[in-house]
Amino acid sequence: MGTKNIILNALKKYIAIGLVGITVTDRYAGVCPVRGSSMSPTFNPSLGSFTDDYVFLEKFCLDKYRFSHGDVVIFSSPTSYNERSLKRIVAMEGDYISNVNGAIKVPEGHCWVEGDNSASSVDSRSFGAIPLGLIHGRVTHIIWPPQRIGKVDRRIPQDGLSL
């Protein structure tokens, strides 16, 4: 009888820890890998590296869609909801962005995202402004590999943006 109680108590603790962990990663923060070179040199600067960057994703910004120019965000692709992308916000709702078709006004409830490495990035230049509701969170820090641990800078590219 004693062994059965020990196993049952351990199982209860693991289930409780698991539920707390799922709640935290779903509502408050998480860790995500960054794959590809569309955000190089900010993320994955070495093409020959065997490890991807891993980033800390904070989700408190989702409360009232509090984003600003230069934030790096992870979002569901508007063309394939199963795919997640990581890009930088370069324009918010009401801003005008210049592209090959002239100046475009970013609609209400949307933002314009672009990769830091425009040569290998599929971003708003391809699929247009994205709804803020597709954003999963804001990237604040690189947490792996150890030599790259640090805060992610909020950089605002000025080319193409006309406020």
Q: Name the residues annotated as catalytic.
A: 38, 87
CA atoms lying within 13 Å on the CB side of residue 147: 6
Compute the distance between CA of residue 110 and CA of residue 120 in angstroms, rounded to an integer. Answer: 23
Query: In Å, how far from its chain's centre is CA 8?
Result: 39
CB 57 within 8 A of CB 32: yes
Compute the distance between CA of residue 123 and CA of residue 75 in angstroms, rounded to an integer. Answer: 11
